Amino acid sequence: MASVSGSVAADEKCSLPSRSTDHMMDTQTSQDANTQVSNEHNAHPWITVTKSANKRRQLQPHTVPTQQLPSTPSEPALRQSRPKTRLPRLPPLPAEDYKLAFRPHGGLNLSKVSPKTLLFAVVHAANIRSEKPDIKLRVDENQNVLTISTSSEHIATALGQITKITVHAATYDITSYGIAPDNSCKGVVNGIGHEITPNDFQTEVEVPGYEVLTCRHLGNSGAMVLTFCGKRVPFFVNAYGQALRCYLYKWTIPHCRKCNKTGHHEDVCPQPPDTPKCRVCGDSLSPNYHECRPSCMLCGGDHPTAAKPCPKRFLPPVNRRKPFWSASPTKEAQSPSPSPGRQSSASGRPAK
């Protein structure tokens, strides 16, 4: 269960992408009003969120920061040690595109599939009839998750309907979900229960000064994860006549209990072992009895790896507004905050 403590206030209005739910918009311009209303009603929730985000982005004025030349130092600078070499980062995907994450099951290792084979498998599964479709693929080799970006709403809708994918004559099940817009953050509300659906809770919840983009259950727990527009998370949300506490969402280090390795979850394990491992201590199970002594791979404690008592199970926060490759980040224009809240500094990792 991922939850966070911390606090800050909503001081930014949404600057969502100019297209909609997760980033895409290639609709026909000749549609009449009735057709547009029907499409909005039948569209996937993540597509609707991206489209509304793109509309907000178009309304916000764009300012180009002025470039300042470095001033000449009055004294010669001391010799500094050579900075550590960082691995090159992939260029960011277009902010206005619709983005979808694929989680393959059944032992499919995405890092072992060639780019051409993977693209052909996705296009064939989505039944896209185009020689060069508008699709960008990103493979996270650590988490074994595929991120797909496209500017076409038609292609985004087709991708959201994929449940199986065929690679090298083998068929694998796929779980897909839409990725929240860049200018968004997440909060966790505990004690909601399993009987309440995310759609029902999103209809019931009210947060003055904030916009709730999506809701989903947090794993098998009774908590609900809310995605807010902007970089601030409120302290409380109003639902069912009560003010419910809202916590910052923290990303945890994934740990697979199939292969006893960190970096990915067991549902997307790329190399499941032939002999199952103990879910507590990680040793290979054998017909004979084994003495189970759990030892955390993260902190060395006497508990299962990445369990709730582990103090190192959370990933370090990353401020998306000040990337490490920026030498002199410019200050963003700030707007009056609607109400107190907490600032989210989680990076744009694929949502669980």
Q: Give the start-to-end residue ranges of the domains of the chain.
A: 17-28+43-58+95-182
* Residues paired with residue 106 on neighbouring β-strands, in sequence order: none
Q: Which of 243, 249, 239, 247 is nearest to 202 (CA)?
A: 239
What contacts 24+ positions apart, CB below 8 Å, involve 6-9?
6/247, 6/248, 6/342, 6/343, 7/235, 7/340, 7/341, 7/342, 8/232, 8/233, 8/340, 8/341, 8/342, 8/343, 9/232, 9/337, 9/339, 9/340, 9/341, 9/342
Quote the tokens at residue 212.
């709730």
CATH architecture type of domain 17-28+43-58+95-182: 2-Layer Sandwich (3.30)
**DSSP assignment of 283-317:** PBP-SS--------TTT--SS-TT-TT-TT-BPPP
Q: Mean pLDDT, 10 residues at a time, over the chain (352 residues)?
A: 40 42 42 42 70 79 58 58 70 89 91 94 92 91 92 92 92 89 90 91 94 87 91 94 94 86 85 80 74 85 87 71 40 45 54 45
Q: Which of 159, 144, 147, 165 is nearest to 265 (CA)?
A: 144
Residue 74 has what pLDDT?
A: 57
Residue 245 has what pLDDT?
A: 96
Residue 247 has what pLDDT?
A: 94
CB 277 within 8 A of CB 292: no
Q: Which of 321, 345, 352 is nearest to 175 (CA)?
A: 352
CB 205 within 8 A of CB 226: yes
pTM given for the model? 0.63
Quote the tokens at residue 136.
């960008």
Residue 190 has what pLDDT?
A: 94
In angstroms, the CA 257 to CA 273 distance is 11
In angstroms, the CA 211 to CA 181 distance is 13
Residue 9 has what pLDDT?
A: 39
Residue 275 has what pLDDT?
A: 75
**Which parts of 91-197 fold into alpha helices (H)?**
115-126, 153-160
Residues in the chain, overall count: 352
Residue 46 has what pLDDT?
A: 74
Residue 59 has what pLDDT?
A: 78
Residue 154 CB neighbours (<10 A) = 14
Determine if residue 5 is left, alpha or beta; phi over 0 gives left, psi from -120 to 50 gives alpha, anything else beta: beta
